[in-house]
Amino acid sequence: MDRTTRDPPRRRVAQACSTCRGRKIRCDAGVPKCSLCVDLNVDCVYLDSQYSKIDAGTRVVLERIQRLEDRLFSSSPFSVADTSVEPEQPNSFEHGHNDTQLTLPVSHEANADHVYRWPIVQEILDRGLPETENAERLSTFPKLYDVTDIFLVEPSRHSSDIGIESWHLFDDESLQYFRRQPRIGSNDFWDILPEYENLISAFFANIHAFYPIIRQEQVYKTLHTVFSSEVDQHGLQDDERQSQYCVLLMVLCLGALAASGNVLLPKMPLQPDNSPQVLWERRQDNPANDNQVGIEFSNSLEDRLWKKAQLLLGSVSLDDSLEAGQCFTLASVYLGAKGRPVDSDHNIHVAARKCKLIARRETLIHKEYPEFSDPFRRLFWVVYVNESDFASEFSLTPPSGMTLFEDIVPYPSPDDTDSEMDYDIGLNKTLMSTSLPDPGPYDNFAAFQVSTSSAIRRFINRATAVLYSPHEVRRKENHTTYIMRLHRLVSELRSHHEAIHKNLPSFLLSTDPSDFWPQINPGKSTSTDTLDRTRFSNHLWNVARLRGRYFAGLYIINRPLLENVLLNPHLIDLHPSKTAVLDCCRDCLVGCSGFIKTFFNEPANCLTNLFATGMATFTMVIILMVATTAPAFRLLLPPDIDSVIAMGRQNMRRFSACVKEFEWHNVELEKVDRGRHKINRTGS
Cis peptide before 77 (omega within 30 of 0): yes
87 or 20, higher pLDDT = 20
Q: What own/partner pairs with CB < 8 Å and gap ≥ 24 does 75-78 have?
A: 75/5, 76/5, 76/6, 76/100, 77/469, 77/471, 78/465, 78/466, 78/489
Same domain, 37 and 182: no
Q: Which of 280-294, 321-335, 383-397 is the least confident region?
A: 280-294
Binned at pLDDT 50, 70 and 90, residue 4 comes out as very low
139-177 pLDDT, tens digit per residue, is 566 788 899 999 998 766 665 666 677 888 877 777 777
Taking phi over 0 as left and psi of -120 to 50 as alpha, with beta for the rest, 534 belongs to alpha
356-376 pLDDT, tens digit per residue, is 999 999 999 988 888 899 999
Assess if residue 420 is contained within a domain: yes
Contact indicator for 327, 250 with CB cutoff of 8 Å: yes
Q: Is the pLDDT of residue 418 over 80?
A: no
Contact indicator for 333, 211 with CB cutoff of 8 Å: yes
**Three-state SS for 139?**
coil
Q: Which of 42-46, 577-581, 662-666 is the least confident region?
A: 42-46
Q: Which pLDDT score, from 0 to 100, does residue 576 have?
A: 85
Binned at pLDDT 50, 70 and 90, residue 72 comes out as low
Assess if residue 182 is contained within a domain: yes
104 DSSP 8-state letter: S
393 or 368, higher pLDDT = 393
Assess if residue 652 is contained within a domain: no
Q: Which pLDDT score, from 0 to 100, does residue 46 have?
A: 73
Q: Which pLDDT score, from 0 to 100, does residue 629 have?
A: 94
61 or 305, higher pLDDT = 305
Rounded distance between C-alpha atoms, residue 579 and residue 632, angstroms: 11
Binned at pLDDT 50, 70 and 90, residue 123 comes out as very high
Q: Is the pLDDT of residue 386 over 50?
A: yes
Q: Beta-strand (E) ranges in 102-261?
A: none
Mean pLDDT of 218-240: 74
Q: Which pLDDT score, from 0 to 100, does residue 592 have?
A: 97
264 DSSP 8-state letter: B
Residue 605: phi and psi, rounded to 5, are -145, 175
Same domain, 345 and 218: yes
Assess if residue 318 is contained within a domain: yes
582 or 293, higher pLDDT = 582
Mean pLDDT of 638-643: 94
Rounded distance between C-alpha atoms, residue 540 and residue 655, angstroms: 17
Q: Cβ atoms within 10 A of the Cβ of 667, count?
A: 18
Cis peptide before 90 (omega within 30 of 0): no
Q: Which pLDDT score, from 0 to 100, does residue 99 have?
A: 43
Assess if residue 66 is contained within a domain: no
For 260-285, b/e burial (b = at least 16 CB within 10 A) is eebbebeeeebeeeebbbebbbebee
Binned at pLDDT 50, 70 and 90, residue 131 comes out as low
Q: Which pLDDT score, from 0 to 100, does residue 369 have?
A: 83
Q: Which pLDDT score, from 0 to 100, does residue 400 have?
A: 86
Taking phi over 0 as left and psi of -120 to 50 as alpha, with beta for the rest, 346 belongs to alpha
Alpha carbon 410 to its chain's center: 19
Binned at pLDDT 50, 70 and 90, residue 641 comes out as very high
Assess if residue 554 is contained within a domain: no
Q: Which pLDDT score, from 0 to 100, does residue 614 have?
A: 96
Angle value at C-alpha 245, between 242 and 248, nearest 5 degrees: 155
Q: What contacts 407, CB < 8 A, 6 or more positions away?
A: 11, 12
Same domain, 190 and 41: no
For CA atoms 383, 385, 388, 389, the dihedral sign is negative
Whether pTM > 0.85 for this model: the answer is: no
Q: Which pLDDT score, from 0 to 100, does residue 653 have?
A: 93
Strand partners, 46: 17
Residue 17: phi and psi, rounded to 5, are -80, 165
Q: Is the pLDDT of residue 516 over 70?
A: no
Same domain, 171 and 43: no
Rounded distance between C-alpha atoms, residue 482 and residue 673, angstroms: 32
Mean pLDDT of 508-522: 62
Contact indicator for 197, 223 with CB cutoff of 8 Å: yes
- Count of the separate structural domains present in the chain: 2
12 DSSP 8-state letter: P
How many residues appear in the chain? 684
Q: Is the pLDDT of residue 107 over 60?
A: yes
Mean pLDDT of 642-661: 94
Contact indicator for 273, 349 with CB cutoff of 8 Å: no
Assess if residue 114 is contained within a domain: no
Q: What contacts 387, CB < 8 A, 6 or more positions away?
A: 104, 348, 349, 351, 352, 399, 400, 402
Contact indicator for 55, 504 with CB cutoff of 8 Å: no
322 or 416, higher pLDDT = 322
User: Nearest Cα to 148, choosing from 669, 664, 649?
Assistant: 664
The CATH number of whichever domain residue 31 belongs to comes to 4.10.240.10
User: Nearest Cα to 265, choosing from 661, 679, 599, 538?
Assistant: 599
Q: Which amino acid is at 378?
A: R
Q: Is the pLDDT of residue 352 over 80?
A: yes
**Three-state SS for 406?**
coil
Mean pLDDT of 15-31: 76
| CB-based burial label for 229 (10 Å; 0-12, 13-18, 19+) | middle
Mean pLDDT of 61-77: 55
Contact indicator for 168, 174 with CB cutoff of 8 Å: yes
Q: Which amino acid is at 546?
A: L
304-335 pLDDT, tens digit per residue, is 899 999 999 999 999 999 999 999 999 999 99
Same domain, 37 and 165: no
Q: Which domain holds residue 1?
A: 1-47
Q: What share of the chain in percent tops pLDDT 70?
A: 69
Same domain, 39 and 181: no
Q: What contacts 526, CB < 8 A, 6 or more positions away?
A: none
Same domain, 221 and 362: yes
Q: Is the pLDDT of residue 473 over 60?
A: no
Rounded distance between C-alpha atoms, residue 613 and residue 651, angstroms: 10
**Three-state SS for 605?**
strand
Same domain, 397 and 255: yes
Contact indicator for 611, 393 with CB cutoff of 8 Å: yes
Binned at pLDDT 50, 70 and 90, residue 482 comes out as confident
Mean pLDDT of 276-287: 49
Rounded distance between C-alpha atoms, residue 131 and residue 137, angstroms: 12
Q: Which span out of 15-19, 91-95, 185-189, 369-373 was modeled with the highest average pLDDT?
A: 369-373
For 293-306, b/e burial (b = at least 16 CB within 10 A) is eeeebeebbbbbbb
**Three-state SS for 400?**
coil
List, as one string, the DSSP characters of 51-91: HHHS-HHHHHHHHHHHHHHHHHTTSTTTTT--TTSPPPPPP
Q: Which pLDDT score, from 0 to 100, does residue 40 have?
A: 82
Q: Which span out of 8-12, 391-395, 428-432, 659-663 was modeled with the highest average pLDDT?
A: 659-663
Q: What share of the chain in percent tops pLDDT 90?
A: 40
Mean pLDDT of 589-607: 89
Assess if residue 236 is contained within a domain: yes
Q: Which pLDDT score, from 0 to 100, does residue 116 have?
A: 96
Binned at pLDDT 50, 70 and 90, residue 502 comes out as confident
User: Nearest Cα to 231, choosing from 289, 186, 262?
Assistant: 186
Q: Which pLDDT score, from 0 to 100, does residue 575 have?
A: 82
278 or 627, higher pLDDT = 627
Q: What is the mean pLDDT of the chain?
A: 77
**Three-state SS for 42?**
coil
